[in-house]
Amino acid sequence: MADNPDIEALTPYARSLGIKLADWEDGVPVLCVEFVEAVEGRPEHFHGGATGGLLETAGYAALRAELARIEREAVLKPINITVQYLAAGKSQTSFAKGRITKLGRRSANLTVEAWQEDRSRPIATAVMNVLMAKTEG
């Protein structure tokens, strides 16, 4: 198996929210966030915004990992994201992993899944498009 790329998977926002790198699976980062007050919405449940932030961060992390693997430099800019909330996020650790559906020249399409204790029952999924702008200079 290839070495996991040395990427900055977490943005300042993601670190501030408490998102961590949990694991690597076949070169793809799996992120997690523990249930702390910063992610709480209604009592004892994840806030939809926090779950969305985790999904989005996992999507970017998957894309950064792939770009690092193929030694391609790009500045990532969000185009859009659609989040589907499938089940309430309970007061336990949430995980998320992204998958690149299409890596184009200018944009990438990703699907991301978030789950808690039972990976076969995701709590939320997302589809996102990311613009890959050329790096300056």
Partner 1 sequence: MSQQAAFDPKTATPFLTSRGHPGWLGMRYSDHGDDWVELELPWREDLLGEEGQHVLASGPILSLMDMASGLAIWKAMDRFEAIATLDLRVDYVRPARDGAAVFGRSQCYRITRSAAFVRGLAHDGDADDPVAHIQAVFMKIGGDPKRELPGG
**Closer of 10 and 28 to partner 1 (Cβ):** 10
Interface positions with partner 1 (CB under 8 A): 8, 11-17, 37-43, 47-50, 52-53, 56-57, 75-85, 88
**Closer of 2 and 111 to partner 1 (Cβ):** 111
Q: How far is the CB of 79 from partner 1 (least distance, A)?
A: 6
**Closer of 2 and 39 to partner 1 (Cβ):** 39
Q: How far is the CB of 51 from partner 1 (least distance, A)?
A: 9
Nearest to 64 by CA among 126, 3, 8: 8
Nearest to 60 by CA among 136, 134, 128, 116: 128
Q: How far is the CB of 50 from partner 1 (least distance, A)?
A: 5
